[in-house]
Copies of this chain bind each other. A is one copy, B any other.
Amino acid sequence: MAKILIVDDEPSIVNLITAYLKPEGYEVLTASDGPSGLKAARAFKPDVILLDVMLPGMDGIEILTRLRRESDVYVIMLTAKTEETDKVVGLTVGADDYVTKPFSPRELVARIKAALRRIQSPVAGVGEVLSFRHMRMDVAARQVSVDDQPIDLTAIEFDLLRALAENRGRVLTREQLLDKVWGGSYFGEMRVVDVHLGHVRQKLGNPDLISTVRGVGYRFEDEPL
């Protein structure tokens, strides 16, 4: 999942933002002053940085200037000022977006999502259709067919099958599947995989498409075209 670095010295702001970002599944790291912010940016390699303009030690503009020498990470500036000069300076040294305090947390989340969309869009159209001897899977349409018979799968079932099909011939453990399908933030029983996989098998009709590797996991078997 995407990584967000918050650089701000006001704990209340940091906590607020964190509280909104965590549930969205983002990995959040924080720094409360300029120098540690820079270090964190280097070590953590975030996808988006939320950067306060007013910071102890080194102000946001300074951070941004230095950051820009080594990276083109997406930076959203946070400022209490509404003064035009600040914005202009911020954008001049390379900020990508700007939010003035007080801001709506929802708006901030939306902007972060927009940023990530912009960043990730170049890779959008990967593997539109997975075609095998018996099974065909249109990822964009989320439709599956086996021997030209359309199969109706739920969201999780589709994602599960997709994860396996994208790794045809290789065993995926339950853990790996949980990670790919449920995302990192699942804390329930690992056996859910079994259950859903059973449903997938049943719906696919063909029991040879997915094989069990006892003690390890599951493997998708159909031959690619």
Contact = CB atoms under 8 A, between A and B. Distances in A.
30 contacts: A12-B89, A12-B92, A13-B88, A80-B84, A84-B101, A88-B102, A91-B104, A91-B105, A96-B104, A96-B105, A96-B106, A97-B104, A97-B107, A104-B187, A107-B118, A107-B187, A113-B175, A114-B179, A114-B184, A117-B179, A138-B169, A140-B170, A140-B171, A141-B219, A142-B171, A142-B213, A154-B214, A155-B215, A155-B216, A156-B215
A44 interface: no
Number of chain copies forming the complex: 2
Contacts of A169: 138, 140-141
A16 interface: yes
Nearest to A86: B102
Q: List the 3 shortest-distance A-B pairs measured between CB atoms, nearest first.
A: A155-B215, A87-B102, A140-B170
Contacts of A89: 12
Given A16-B88, A98-B104, 5 more contacts: A87-B101, A94-B105, A97-B104, A110-B118, A142-B213
